[in-house]
Amino acid sequence: MSHCALSGYIEVPPKGLKEALKRQPNGAFLVQGMGPLAIHGQARLGRLLFAHGAGAGQQSPFMRQFVTSLAARGVQVLCIDFPYMQLMQETGKRRPPPPIAQTLAQFAEWYALLDPLFDGPLWIGGKSMGGRVASLYASTQPANEQPFISPVPGVVAAGYPFHPTKAPDKLRLDHWPAIACPMLILQGERDPFGSLEEVTGYTLSPNAELAWLKDGDHDFKPRRFSGVTQTVLIDEATQVAASFVRAHGPGLTG
């Protein structure tokens, strides 16, 4: 039996997801051929498809805290695990993510499945690599418009990987000018993938807003002497994210 089945996920075919959501709007589903989907909270302000980082899936401590806090603020969060992460969970062995183009295609498949199921816009985002993938997907709009799929209304990235940790000159910003929607980057001041000192020297797109978290690292964890805790910074980040979604989209009910 799979990790997801043991965790209480309800197995459904993609075409049966809409009916399953009517019965259980905040359910945890194993979508056949795609993987786990967990839906948290009610969409009073909006909905967000949120992808995990490279090394840990939607059940990681950071993801659980971030998602729970954001859902409590009125943003319904839809969490997914990419196939390589599912393999890690099944085998218990770490493995690197595949080339980013492959992960981007899988993210696009999720968006194409989920967006038509809901009234109102579906935001996208993610933690670290997940945020990068979401931004890459946003950069394809409107070139990749498909029938019945709405344009991306906005992006929320937690800990954007501006560059690899040991290659600060290899910036991951080439696609940003093609992103037309609002974009929020929640970043720890000490993030090794893009610190406050580094990022303030970049030329960024005017539609990108950065929110800096005091003394936070890549997981928003500050040093003890900073006077704040990781929980406080995660809550601060989700408050900013909820306000950003509220400011750039209509409120929803249900």
The neighbouring-strand residues paired with 122 are 47
pLDDT digits (tens, 9 = 90+) for 169-200: 999 999 999 999 999 999 999 999 999 999 99
* Percentages (nearest 5) of helix, strand, coil residues in the chain: 35, 20, 45
Residue with tokens 């603020």: 73
Cα–Cα distance, 157 to 187 (Å, whole number) = 8
Q: Which two tokens stand for residue 189?
A: 């001041």
How confident is the model at residue 218, as a pLDDT? 96
How confident is the model at residue 156, as a pLDDT? 98
The helix (H) or strand (E) run that includes residue 76 is: strand 75-80
Cα–Cα distance, 52 to 213 (Å, whole number) = 19
Pick from 198, 63, 222: nearest CA to 127: 63
How confident is the model at residue 83, as a pLDDT? 86
First to last CA, the chain: 33
Cα–Cα distance, 35 to 29 (Å, whole number) = 8
Rounded to whole angstroms, the maximal C-alpha distance in the chain is: 53
Digitized pLDDT (tens) for each residue of the chain, 254 residues in all: 344 544 678 999 999 999 999 988 888 999 999 999 999 999 999 999 999 988 777 888 999 999 999 999 999 999 999 988 888 788 888 878 889 999 999 999 999 999 999 988 999 999 999 999 999 999 998 655 566 677 899 999 999 999 999 899 999 999 999 999 999 999 999 999 999 999 999 999 999 999 999 999 999 999 999 999 999 999 999 999 999 999 997 644 43
Edge-to-edge strands, sheet with 183-188? 10-12, 28-31, 35-40, 75-80, 46-51, 122-127, 155-158, 183-188, 208-213
The ranges assigned to domains in the chain are: 39-247
DSSP state of 252: -
This prediction's pTM: 0.92
Cα–Cα distance, 16 to 72 (Å, whole number) = 28
How confident is the model at residue 1, as a pLDDT? 39
Pick from 133, 171, 129: nearest CA to 152: 133
The neighbouring-strand residues paired with 48 are 77, 123
39-247 is classed in which CATH architecture? 3-Layer(aba) Sandwich (3.40)
